[in-house]
A = this chain, B = another copy of it.
Amino acid sequence: MLQLPPVQRADERLHQVEHDVLQNLKLRLEALDTPGELAGPPETLGQLLEVSMEQSQVQAQRMLVSQILAGLTADEARILAAFSDGSAFPMLTVYAGGRFTRGEVVYRHSSVGRAAGTQCGDMIGYYLHRLFERGWIMATGFEEAKRTEYELLEGDSGFRKALSQLQQHWPKLKPQRESVRFSPLGHLLWQQLVADGEADREEE
């Protein structure tokens, strides 16, 4: 049943697993012993409130950072890295709704996925959605200098397919040309994640 990988590397791998298991056990022992930390996900609201009464600022930051990291994929981390120096990228935004009300955003597309070198090129619309929902990014105005990039985006087949699905409900729908970049929260979160990584390296 177990298809074990080649024998010659088995020793090394077992060693790693052993280290990993012991490391986990250590963290677990410490968490059980440490006020302000939970050994696993909370089982009740009361547990969370209890922990909050004993938590230091560093522990509260760690708890938040670990929840942020658990909600990011590797592709999304690449996209965030592309934004982290303050860069903006062309974005097409499709707003539902009629002539007088702009309505909700129903689709987004951007060149940031290609620029960042993500693996799932067809998921860029969803990556943008997730990063907007998590507060990382915001939409700002059209940049005249990038006219060609906008035209390329408008021709992408995934985008055209989504647009034609939407036009079944709103026949006159047109994408807006905007830019996408880090929000103030995005800059703040990036700083937290980078600082947290550095603290971890120092501890080792």
Which A residues are within 8 Å of any B CB, using their own CB? 1-5, 9, 13-14, 16-17, 19-20, 22, 25-26, 28-30, 32-33, 36, 39, 41-46, 48-49, 51-52, 55-57, 59-61, 63-64, 66-67, 69-75, 77-78, 81, 96, 101-102, 104, 106-107, 118-120, 122-123, 125-126, 129-130, 133-135, 138-141, 161-162, 165-166, 169, 183-185, 187-189, 193-194, 196-197, 200
Contacts and interface: CB of A to CB of B under 8 A. Distances in A.
B197 A45 contact: yes
A16 B32 contact: yes
A17 B32 contact: yes
A55 B101 contact: no
18 contacts: A4-B29, A5-B30, A13-B33, A41-B69, A41-B70, A44-B69, A44-B196, A44-B200, A52-B75, A63-B75, A64-B73, A64-B126, A104-B138, A133-B134, A141-B169, A162-B188, A165-B184, A166-B184
Given A39-B20, A52-B78, A73-B64, A169 B197 contact: no
B96 A126 contact: no
Contacts of A28: 17, 20
Nearest to A193: B45
Nearest to A96: B138
A60 B118 contact: yes
A46 B69 CA distance: 10
Given A41-B70, A129-B135, A77 B49 contact: yes
